[in-house]
Chains A and B, each alone.
Chain A
Amino acid sequence: MNFLKFNREGALARFRLMANIAGVMSLLLWLVYLPIKLTAVNDNVATPIRLIAVVHGFMYMVYVLSAFNYSLSVRKPFFSMLGYLAAGTLPIASFVADRRARAEYAALTGGSNLPE
């Protein structure tokens, strides 16, 4: 339950959780929703497929908040924070951001208390 803690450890846990959710939603958006939407006749896309875009939109907002919070808690420079925010928009990039955040955190804390 690290992601409920209001400290640096909690911020990283929240960011990691959201980076993985946003990554999965991003993959669904790029590999399922967009090909179906772009090839659909008269924009006729089934509601469950449309929901991918809606859910991705809301998940991205939560991801952005968690990335902002994490960046503040580990005192990241402004442009580095922007990179984390942008990572949620591309498939796989948020998984890369997750790995990078883990490595940064480990370097910052000497490898201790790394939240799973």
Chain B
Amino acid sequence: MRKSLKTLSFALLIILATSTCFELGLWQWHRAQGMAKFQKPQPERSVVELAKAASAGSNLRNTAFNRLVTFNASYEKNYVAPNQLVTFTDGTQSRKDLVVSLARLADNRAVLVVRGIYEGTFPQKQSSARVNGRLYPRQNVDQAEGGVGKLSRLDPALVAGDSGFTLFDGYVIATGGQIAAPQLLSQGGAFYWQHIAYVITWWFMGLLILSFPFYNRFRDAKLKGE
């Protein structure tokens, strides 16, 4: 009875460890696929309502990155995001200060919208606007010093304290102005192979763990063979 309980516990441990290794390999596989996907431009998908691509108050899903979105909103507050790398519609790039507005949607939800280049003044408040643009993941690196009315990076977390709205993760670059909203591409070619290496390592470890229950049998067989 005690021996069978020990065997059962060992078997469960092996199954648990093997499946953990397999799941970790699978997770790395999905990360590698995600990297590969964002290394080259993807065919544009149809424009969707923002609420269908993302949910306010929750993390932006990978599938929502680079989506062209549309929504009705009123611009509530304006900020400056200094020193942002901007792509213009003629394809040139340079660092500029951007006008970023908090766009309020129905049900007290809001999203950050990049509206254009900051030239000393903010655009007038609009009570209702149809916004078209592309959805991007939040920036996690400061591009400049922050301050009152200044966003050091394009990240809704920076305005969460002074808005009182439920915020969408990420931000939208509004299209139709002088700023282009190109697809965001990953620059890390080596990342892909690093994740593939981890996939192989984890699955190999899983297979190795599967062989553990037979270790003593292998060892004893070797002993008899000698």
Flag the segment in B90-98, B110-118, B167-175, B208-216 that touches A: B208-216
Quick check: is B5 within 8 A (CB to CB) of the other chain? no
Residues in chain B near residue A81, CB distance under 8 A: 215
Measured between alpha carbons, how far is A61 from B198 in the docked complex, in Å? 11
Q: Contact between B222 and A57 (Cβ–Cβ < 8 Å)?
A: no
Residues in chain B near residue A60, CB distance under 8 A: 201
Residues in chain B near residue A64, CB distance under 8 A: 204-205, 208
Q: Contact between B219 and A54 (Cβ–Cβ < 8 Å)?
A: no
User: Whole-angstrom distance from the CB of B137 to the nearest CB of chain A?
Assistant: 12
Contacting B197 at CB < 8 Å: which of A57, A76, A78? A57
Q: Contact between A57 and B219 (Cβ–Cβ < 8 Å)?
A: no
Residues in chain B near residue A75, CB distance under 8 A: 219, 222-223
Mask, A29-57, CB within 8 Å of B = 1, is 00000000000011100010011011001
Contacting A54 at CB < 8 Å: which of B188, B193, B215? B193
Q: Contact between A61 and B201 (Cβ–Cβ < 8 Å)?
A: yes
Quick check: is B148 within 8 A (CB to CB) of the other chain? no
Quick check: is B140 within 8 A (CB to CB) of the other chain? yes
Contacting A73 at CB < 8 Å: which of B140, B141, B208, B222? B222
Interface residues of A in 44-96 (CB under 8 A from B): 47, 50-51, 53-54, 57-58, 60-61, 64, 68, 71-73, 75-76, 78, 81, 85
Contacting B204 at CB < 8 Å: which of A41, A61, A73, A76? A61
Quick check: is B191 within 8 A (CB to CB) of the other chain? yes
Residues in chain B near residue A53, CB distance under 8 A: 194, 197
Measured between alpha carbons, how far is A78 from B212 in the docked complex, in Å? 8
By the criterion of a CB under 8 Å from any partner CB, how many residues of chain A are at the interface?
22
- With A42-B140, A58-B201, A64-B208 known to touch, is A72 a contact of B194 (CB < 8 Å)? no
User: Whole-angstrom distance from the CB of B59 to the nearest CB of chain A?
Assistant: 17
Residue of B with least CB distance to A8: B226
Measured between alpha carbons, how far is A51 from B197 in the docked complex, in Å? 10
Q: Contact between A50 and B204 (Cβ–Cβ < 8 Å)?
A: no
Residues in chain B near residue A72, CB distance under 8 A: 215, 218-219, 222
User: Whole-angstrom distance from the CB of B200 to the nearest CB of chain A?
Assistant: 8
- With A42-B141, A51-B190, A75-B223 known to touch, is A57 a contact of B215 (CB < 8 Å)? no
Q: Contact between B194 and A54 (Cβ–Cβ < 8 Å)?
A: yes
Residues in chain A near residue B197, CB distance under 8 A: 53-54, 57-58
Residue of B with least CB distance to A50: B190
Among B190, B200, B223, which residue has the most Cβ atoms of chain A within 10 A?
A: B190
Residue of A with least CB distance to B202: A57
Measured between alpha carbons, how far is A73 from B216 in the docked complex, in Å? 12
Q: Contact between B190 and A47 (Cβ–Cβ < 8 Å)?
A: yes
Residues in chain B near residue A42, CB distance under 8 A: 140-141
Known: A53-B197, A54-B194, A60-B201. 10 other contacts (CB 8 A): A43-B188, A50-B191, A50-B194, A64-B204, A64-B208, A72-B218, A75-B219, A75-B223, A78-B215, A85-B208
Q: Can you name 7 A-B residue pairings with CB atoms under 8 Å?
A: A43-B188, A58-B197, A58-B200, A60-B201, A72-B219, A75-B223, A78-B212
